[in-house]
Amino acid sequence: MKIGFIGLGNMGFPIAARLVGAGHNVIAFDTRTAAVDKLIGAQGASSAKDVADRVETVMASLPSLQASREVAAEVAEGSRVRRFVDFSTVGRQTAIEVHDLLATRGIVAIDSPVSGGVSGAGKGTLAVMVSAPHEEFKLLLPVYETIGRPFYLGDRPGAAQTMKLVNNLLAATGLIATCEAVAMGVKAGLDAAVMIDVLNAGSGGTNASRDKFPRSILPRTFDYGFATGLMVKDVRLYLEEAQSLGVSMEVAEAVARLWEVVIEELGPESDFTAAIKPIERAAGVVVGG
């Protein structure tokens, strides 16, 4: 398939690379020309509109709501594009706005946020959440299966975004709670590595203890590949949607407060596994290393 791809960041680049590796004809654009040059086997484009002028299927992986809106508006001006697949996490309301904008041009908006991190993107093991007309989902199924496991959530605009926010709220909760609990154990004299082994063998294991702690926290590399600013963005989006639905947010609000401390102390560009650092400082301990 001939595919346009916009946004070659931490997630977008490995996704696009898998598409190239699977034999798709990829036309790529990123504001950083070096990222496009690095995508061996792809053709470069001069802008998002240039991509949309050259292919029927345009995909994007973008870091912010504003970037998704701006790219969607530019794609809408394209002469050949027929569908816009957005892997970004933008929340239900922005997904609806993009859907409505593209619909005026006869372009199908396909909401496809992903989960699984940079490692999952590289390995092709992402969870791909999709809300779109079912015939579009079936058309793109072979492409989705190149990058991971697709889950169809119906044709309602923004449904996949809701699922992604649920996923990321739980991921944010698991990481910050595990950080807090392990720091407490270290303060009490336990060995952090042994604690993680016990958690993973017992009922307290989480994705954080099984993956993030061994890979990035215990060795203190803090290089998992997902920015604190993106996690805080996703938690804030979850709160907005939960508030609009009138559902309980007590746990989510507590988690959000902790993440706001992390972004205030470490900045949005820090790796989200560094969330343990403010907790360590408050406890007077160092976990791992």
Which residues are tagged catalytic? 164
Pairing of strands 43-44, 25-29: parallel
Angle at the Cα of 202 (from 196 to 170), degrees rounded to 5?
Answer: 75
**114 contacts 91 by C-beta, under 8 angstroms:** no
Helix, strand, coil in percent for the chain, rounding step 5: 55, 15, 30
What is the C-alpha to C-alpha distance for residues 181 and 280, in angstroms, rounded to an integer? Answer: 11
Report phi then psi at 89, rounded to 5: -100, 110
The pair of structure tokens assigned to 12 is 């977008």
What is the C-alpha to C-alpha distance for residues 155 and 205, in angstroms, rounded to an integer? Answer: 35
What dihedral angle (degrees, nearest 10) is formed by the CA atoms of 91, 15, 230, 224? Answer: 150
Stated as kind and residue range, the H or E segment containing 110 is strand 108-111
What is the C-alpha to C-alpha distance for residues 284 and 102, in angstroms, rounded to an integer? Answer: 52
**143 contacts 24 by C-beta, under 8 angstroms:** yes
What is the C-alpha to C-alpha distance for residues 175 and 262, in angstroms, rounded to an integer? Answer: 12
What is the C-alpha to C-alpha distance for residues 228 and 233, in angstroms, rounded to an integer? Answer: 9
Nearest to 95 by CA among 9, 53, 158, 30: 158
What is the C-alpha to C-alpha distance for residues 150 and 68, in angstroms, rounded to an integer? Answer: 21
